[in-house]
Structure 1
Amino acid sequence: MSYERIGGASLDYRMCEYDGSRLAFRGPKRSLDEPYIAVLGGTDTFGKFIPRPYSDRLEDKLGLPCLNLGVMSGGLDAFVSDLGVLSMAARAKAVVVQVMSAHTLSNRYYTVHPRRNDRFLRASSAMEQLFRDVDFTEFHFTNHMLRELAARYPDRFMVLAEELQQAWVARMRLLIERIGRPVTLLWMADHEPDEKRGFAHVASAPFAVTQEMMLQLEGVVSDTVICAASAAALARGSEGMLYAPQEAQAARELLGPAVHEEAAEALYPTLRAALIKRR
């Protein structure tokens, strides 16, 4: 699938690339010669089906360009070794990192695709030993694999989930260290951090990330902004999204424009204070 066709023909994402990065981003391509804010994240940050994602709305409020470095199906692994992204983030006036799910990163149990982090590549010997009666060649996506494992082996699944959580904290620390700039962490979801936990919520995003895990990053991140979507924003659903008829189900599973507006509102005071402080 070409990046230009992500999300169908209903919305032109004007995909672009930046020097030094292996990734493709939502355009239009921005100048890196003027001050900007770098916004890193996954599908929600990219803004699939969203005409104006939260980075655009935050730019309006701050009056400063917000470079959308969101990656479709991206997790921490898409960014932590991408020299282009790290360079752009290091030069930014401020950096926002969306909280991304813990299952979209390689760990001691399995390996994901280095850019499309939702793609399952292979199980390790430790994974095969933990789930001895599972044929991992059946799985191509981590979500599908985790749903199956959670349903069939809830006790063993929790061992895997604990590994994912430990790997997430370590990878977040590594990403922030490599950026070398103050980072604002953004929780953007349909629930508060500790409302959906355990294998019963394996389909929830960001999967397996808890308040305790984010607290472990205190002193590493400069701020944490919690945007748990309001009932009113969630009730508006996919209103304002642009997608082809066959993509209606996929659109219903994503956060809509009303939630993106709430995320921009939540980020604004923190980013404004950070920019004033760093002048």
Structure 2
Amino acid sequence: MSLHMTGAGALEDPICTYPGSRLPVRAPCARLEGRYLAFLGGSETFGRFVATPFPALLDRRLGQTCVNLGSINAGLDAVLGDAGAMRIAAAAALTVVQLPDAQNLTNGFYRVHPRRNDRFLAACAPLTELYPEVDFTEFHFTRHLLIALHRHCPGRFATLRTELQRIWVTRMHRLLRGLGGRGLLLWLHDGDDSPRSDAPLGSEPLLVSRTMVDRVLRQARGLVEVPVTAAGQLEGETRKMDFGPLQRPTAEHMLGPAMHARIADRLGDAIATLQ
């Protein structure tokens, strides 16, 4: 697989799409023949800036076809809205589901982009009524939006947070039902899922609590928790990644090869017990 520079000094992401799907996922596309495992998730599952993401490592380790359906900045809406991707995931012997953020969901307060779910598209009437002093044309990303709204009024923000968390649980139930009980949850976190004063949305995945995970776990085969550290916090890790000069700040917040190897080890052990 080759990557090339664009005029903006960035490397293009290695993407492909499967027949019947519009979701841009990690290339190369796998051959969907016989028994295979599927992996649903966002930028971490996709393996942005990493030559061999954890689904590819597991393909080698397990000797089974591992279909990487990870898509950059994709969340629940992107997967549920793509019938082709859902068919592929539902036909897998087992589908690993990376737990997504809760803020990247279209809801009664705002709409997000249908595939790149971190993009804020528009505020709905209930949100403009809740925050009449806010100019929503200034926002392009959901994280920026929610941090700003929390700063404006933490009390009113609680209403929005409750709705996002409710919808996350509802749509996770829908996703897991669609997988026919063959979903294995993957929780990538920094080991601290409690909100912090300097991070009003809490730890990654944002706005997702252990109580929420416990509620959806009943429909899954199990849960694999992996504490992870961004590449920029590990000595020499970014030197093992592929990115253009202007992409360094983004790459430093992604997972490097060491974390992908850790995830593959944890998932490999869990999958072995389920097969």
Q: Which amino acid aligns with 1:206?
A: P
The equivalent residue for 1:173 is 173
Aligned residues: 271
- Tell whether the 8 Å contact from 2:10 to 2:245 is kept in structure 1 after alignment: no
- Tell whether the 8 Å contact from 2:36 to 2:92 is kept in structure 1 after alignment: yes
Matched, 1:253 2:253: yes
In structure 2, the gaps of 5 or more residues are none
**SS in structure 1 at match of 2:199:** helix
* Segments ≥4 residues shifted beyond 6 Å: 3-6, 230-233
Within a 5 Å distance, the mapping from 1:1-279 to structure 2 comes to: 13-189=13-189, 191-192=190-191, 194-196=193-195, 200-202=199-201, 204-229=203-228, 234-236=233-235, 237-275=237-275
Q: Which amino acid aligns with 2:209?
A: T
Q: Which amino acid aligns with 2:199?
A: A
**SS in structure 1 at match of 2:216:** coil
**SS in structure 1 at match of 2:33:** coil
Matched residues in 2 for 1:42 and 1:182: separation?
Answer: 19
Q: Which amino acid aligns with 2:103?
A: H
Return 150-159 or 138-147, whichever deviates more: 150-159
Q: Which amino acid aligns with 1:225?
A: V
Q: Is the alpha carbon distance of 1:219 and 1:153 closer, same or farther for their aligned partners in structure 2, counting shifts above 3 Å?
A: same
CA-based RMSD: 2.5
Q: Is the alpha carbon distance of 1:244 and 1:230 closer, same or farther for their aligned partners in structure 2, counting shifts above 3 Å?
A: closer
Identity among equivalent positions (%) equals 38
Shift of 1:139: 1.2
Deviations along 1:233-257, whole A, 9 cap, x unmatched?
9534434111112111111111222
- Tell whether the 8 Å contact from 2:110 to 2:122 is kept in structure 1 after alignment: yes
- Tell whether the 8 Å contact from 2:185 to 2:222 is kept in structure 1 after alignment: yes
Matched residues in 2 for 1:177 and 1:255: separation?
Answer: 29
Q: Is the alpha carbon distance of 1:50 and 1:231 closer, same or farther for their aligned partners in structure 2, counting shifts above 3 Å?
A: closer
Matched residues in 1 for 2:46 and 2:179: separation?
Answer: 20
- Tell whether the 8 Å contact from 1:184 to 1:224 is kept in structure 2 after alignment: yes
Q: Is the alpha carbon distance of 1:231 and 1:180 closer, same or farther for their aligned partners in structure 2, counting shifts above 3 Å?
A: closer
- Tell whether the 8 Å contact from 2:187 to 2:225 is kept in structure 1 after alignment: yes
Q: Which amino acid aligns with 1:208?
A: L
Shift of 1:143: 1.5
Name the TM-score, length of structure 2 as normaliser: 0.90
Matched residues in 2 for 1:95 and 1:163: separation?
Answer: 27
- Tell whether the 8 Å contact from 2:231 to 2:238 is kept in structure 1 after alignment: no
